[in-house]
Chains A and B, each alone.
Chain A
Amino acid sequence: MFFNDIFNLQRDLDQFLNAQISPTSVYQTNRFPALNLFEKDNCLILKTEVPGIVKSDIKIDLTDNVLSISGEKKTEPVSANYHRQEREAGPFKRQIELPYKVDPEKVKANLENGVLTIELEKREEAKGRQITIS
């Protein structure tokens, strides 16, 4: 896939920059969960990796063209005897400004295998139209 290279480069660069700015902790809280935004026809498709979070712990809000996703990933009790802890946990909130207005009535969200997919349809007035020369 052609955009694999973009993904790879971006991730590598992000990791490098993040490591420079804030040394990575056990939690690596800098950007959790990470988002990917795609476009298909007149739809925006937002995907985010939220492994281990149940449906009821995720809240999605849409105000104008700002989408916010918040929730909490439950942690094991503190008494647990950890040998290694790399997975992020705890409460999170992310907001993203969408490139155009979307129809709030036509938002679909789906959580499958730890990937949250939100489909947002462009609002009628934001759709482009062709103008014919009279």
Chain B
Amino acid sequence: MTLKELFKKDKKEVDTKEGEITYACRFYQPNVDILENDSEIVLYADIPGVNKEDVEVTVENNTLKLSAKIDPSEYRDLKPLYTEYGLGHFTREFKLGGKIDKDSIVANIDNGVLSLKLKKSQEVLPRRIEIH
């Protein structure tokens, strides 16, 4: 038995040719801005370095969850000389108020910024009452 086989038995080696490779990576909370206007609540989250298809937005039990994953593989061959920010995925959760129409959330990503438009539900929209 060669040394390599022994190690393989001891710890399962990941076959780099096929199958999914996962990287240990830290998760960060993205910075967000939340704005409100008459008809909707708009949320902007900074998620630099994330491709559109690696963003997941879910709503479950009044909790809005953002999850965005970066691709760390491009950093593999780079030697860091001076670093100021950490690399990692992004995740953050928000509790939604009851007055949001959960079925009409519009998500968009542009230049590393995820924007979510949360429409207020019909019953809380201000309405003008006509005087007859």
Contact = CB atoms under 8 A, between A and B. Distances in A.
Interface of A: 1, 3-4, 6-8, 10-11, 14, 31, 34-40, 44-45, 49-54, 76, 80-88, 96, 99, 111, 113-115
Given A4-B25, A83-B36, A113-B48, A52 B111 contact: yes
Given A11-B84, A83-B35, 14 more contacts: A1-B23, A7-B80, A8-B86, A36-B84, A44-B81, A49-B112, A50-B112, A52-B111, A76-B33, A82-B35, A84-B32, A87-B32, A96-B82, A114-B111
A76 B80 contact: no
A3 to B, nearest CB: 5
Interface residues of B, number: 37
Nearest to B35: A80
Given A1-B72, A38-B78, A54-B111, A87 B85 contact: no
A7 B88 CA distance: 10
Interface of B: 23-26, 31-37, 41, 44, 46-51, 72, 75-87, 110-113
Contacts of B80: 3, 6-7, 36-39
A101 to B, nearest CB: 15
Nearest to B32: A86
Given A40-B77, A49-B112, A114 B82 contact: no
A50 B51 CA distance: 15
B85 A51 contact: no
B111 A11 contact: no
A1 B34 CA distance: 34
9 contacts: A1-B23, A31-B84, A37-B81, A45-B78, A76-B35, A82-B34, A113-B49, A113-B111, A114-B112
A73 to B, nearest CB: 10
B89 to A, nearest CB: 12
A84 B76 contact: no
A80 B76 CA distance: 42
Contacts of A86: 31-33
A52 B84 contact: no
Contacts of B23: 1
Contact of B87 (A7, A51, A82, A87): A7
